[in-house]
Amino acid sequence: MILSLALLLLAAAFAYAWVRERGRRRAAEIRHKAELADWERRGTAEFAEQAQRSAALFDRMVEGMIVTNAAGRIQLANRAAQSFFSFDGGAIGRTLLEATRRHEIAAVAERLESETEVLGHELRLEGADQPRFLQVNALALRDAGGGRDGALFVFHDVTRLRQLEAMREEFVANVSHELRTPLSLIKSAAETMLDSGHDDPAMRLRFLEIIDRHANRLARLIDDLLFLSTLDSGRLRLESQPLALCRVAQEVIEDFQIRAVARGVKLVNGVAEDLIVQADPDRLRQVLGNLVDNAIKYGRDGGRVAVDGAIRADGRVEVIVRDDGPGLPAEAQPRIFERFYRVDKARSREQGGTGLGLAIVKHVVQAHGGEVRVESAPGAGTTFFFTLSAALTPADAPARSPAGP
């Protein structure tokens, strides 16, 4: 009896220990599962967040990007690529040719089959008003075992670069032409003199005048080109200071008086004496000089050229050069500040123009932080406006506080 009681107690103790251990294990198992689930949840959320960040990053890239899979179908195309080729998110799963409708891209993809290097190609896309140029760089992607695993295409918009190159080429062609014209006139005058003109003093004088005029034009052209190159490179140093606009206008008017009188043009200084601007004196004279010179050259014989100034509502000073000449055709007005643009080439050359005067005006005014514009109508004269900062004269300056430095 005692033995069976002891056995019973032992079995009960054993059963109790077994149940406790099972409970403990079960609790540990539940805890472990919960931890695993938590990890998984956090991992998925992190992964989703990472994927979202990458997608946002790709979409913010200015370069277009397309990734294809091993079957040549689009897996990923960012927003820039979508806008270059005008396809929407529906491009996923399509081939490059279907999505971009560009055979060259499909051909690059084909070449990638046998290439290990990055392949480059330039695409020209016809736009509504002007072509767009895209540099394509393509690279075959490999999986961990070295097998082909699709390709990556990056599209870089090089339109601005191509436009600048075209502008540079046009500029060089223009410069060569502009240099060659006076040079060939100098050369033919010298040759004529050498051949036949040396005996006749009147003829010799005529040819020497031609040589002198065109040599001067050549020198002006070279000066203007060198000055523009200083402006382009940002090497121009402005010595800005408060200047009485009326006085600078008067100096310019006096410089051009002889030329104006020769054409019967009246030069008028209408600038108020108390108008003070902040500018570099030599450069302001240069800008006003170019505008007054043009107004005399392209205005009318016996006409009137006026320089004026006014304070605008925003506190800046507007300088105005107005003539009563034949004016500018509407289509010429947006182009008038371009290098070598002239309405009448022959007239400009005959007047000794370089075709760079207004380009210099625009750059110098911009270097002062101002803007330049033109208003004109055929038969109603031409008016150039440019803005400068008004300078604080000692009388305008705010009184210094006694505690101030």
DSSP string, 382-397: EEEEEEEEEPPPTTTS
- Please identify, using beta-carbon distances, which residue of 208 and 225 lies nearer to ligand ADP: 225
3-class SS of residue 380: coil
Per DSSP, the three-state class of 152 is strand
Rounded to the nearest whole angstrom, what is the least distance from the CB of residue 303 to ligand ADP in the complex? 10
Shortest distance, position 127 Cβ to ligand ADP, whole Å: 30
Residue 168, both tokens: 């540079």
Phi then psi for residue 153, to 5 deg, are -120, 125
Nearest to 149 by CA among 113, 119, 182: 113
In Å, what is the CA distance from 210 to each residue of 217, 223, 297? 11, 20, 19
Asked whether the beta carbons of 121 and 136 are under 8 A apart, the reply is yes
β-sheet bridge partners, residue 276? 244
Maximum CA pair distance of the chain?
Answer: 162
Minimum separation from the CB atom of position 169 to ligand ADP (A): 20
As measured in angstroms, the least distance from the Cβ of 377 to ligand ADP is 11
Q: Residue 150 or 299: which CB sits closer to ligand ADP?
A: 299
How many Å apart are CA 373 and CA 387, to the nearest integer?
9
To ligand ADP, the closest distance from the beta carbon of 373 in angstroms equals: 13
Nearer to ligand ADP, 100 or 382 (CB): 382
Distance CA 77, CA 152 (A): 10
The nearer residue to ligand ADP, 256 or 298, going by C-beta atoms, is 298
R_g of the chain computed on alpha carbons: 39
Q: Which residue has the tokens 């932080």?
A: 369
Secondary structure of residue 122 in the 3-state scheme = strand
Taking the least distance from each CB to ligand ADP, the nearer of 185 and 356 is 356
CB 123 within 8 A of CB 107: no
CB of residue 359 vs ligand ADP: minimum separation in angstroms?
6
If the CB atoms of residues 119 and 179 are measured against ligand ADP, the closer one turns out to be 179
Q: Which helix (DSSP H) or strand (DSSP E) does residue 17 occupy?
A: helix 2-60
Least separation in angstroms between residue 294's CB and ligand ADP is: 3
Q: How far is the CB of 163 from ligand ADP (least distance, A)?
A: 21
Name every residue whose Cβ is closer than 8 Å to that of residue 275 and which is 6 or more positions away in sequence: 244, 245, 246, 309, 311, 317, 390
Residue 178 or 193: which CB sits closer to ligand ADP?
178
**Binding positions for ligand ADP, rule: CB under 6 A:** 290, 294-295, 298, 323, 325, 328, 336, 341-344, 348, 353-359, 382
**Closer by beta carbon to ligand ADP, 100 or else 269:** 269
